[in-house]
Amino acid sequence: MIRTAILVDGGFYRKRASHLWGHESAEGRAGELEKYCWGHLKDRDKEDHRLYRIFYYDCKPIGRKSVYHPLTMRNVELDKSDTFAWTSKFLEELKRRRKFALRLGELSEWTYYNLKPEVTKKLMQGKVTLESLKEDDFMFVSTQKGVDMRIGLDIASLAYKKQIDQIILIAGDSDFVPAAKLARREGIDFILDPMWASIKDDLFEHIDGLKSSSFKKKRIDQMKS
């Protein structure tokens, strides 16, 4: 029996899932994430895989703070925004689901609204004008604190205590490399799931495998064709 722990970089998953499958309700996205994780344990090979736990890393939404919006020229009360309500509901949904363990960091107090990259590109190309900009063309920007540290600590703890045989990390950057190297030295099979996103070539030497979940794979294949 292979004991598998699945670690999810929440910020990466939410952004990537929205790009791949569009907007979802908080309940729908939580259910989708659960199925996505379980998809890793189906049809992997002839060996028996047992889920140890799903660790989800993210930040609580900022409340009781106002941020100036450059288009409307008004302060936005974050705890009254749709994003605050959605994120709060999403985290509550995950807490209720079996095998989920939430590891929550904090968002930096340095927050602001900025144009989305694709809108900035169109603006510079003259395809849109300042007068035609809408509220949806802006995005809320804030920096996570403590998330990468929590991922690294859990990888190290799981590896040293021999609680699992395999780690599947759903993430898209290279911040995990030192922790992955440590886990592999301890004999842990380390799999990276970038959700079909491309990764840097040099990352392959620090992982034991690259595999995205079989969940919704048919839809991804249709999008590529």
CB 180 within 8 A of CB 206: yes
Could you tell me how far CA 194 lies from the centroid of its own chain?
10
Average pLDDT, the chain: 90
pLDDT tens string 54-108: 999 999 888 778 899 999 999 988 888 888 999 999 999 999 999 999 999 988 8
CATH number for the domain formed by residue range(s) 2-61+93-107+144-224: 3.40.50.1010
- Give SS3 for 218: helix
Q: Which of 58, 52, 147, 63 is nearest to 95 (CA)?
A: 58
Q: Which of 222, 215, 223, 217 is nearest to 32 (CA)?
A: 215
pLDDT tens string 154-210: 999 999 999 999 999 999 988 899 999 999 999 999 999 999 999 888 888 899 999
Stated pTM of the model: 0.86
The pLDDT assigned to 43 comes to 60
For the chain, give the percent of residues with pLDDT over 90. Answer: 69
Residues 6+ apart with CB under 8 A from 126: none
Phi then psi for 40, rounded to 5 degrees?
A: -70, -25
Residues 6+ apart with CB under 8 A from 100: 34, 53, 54, 56, 94
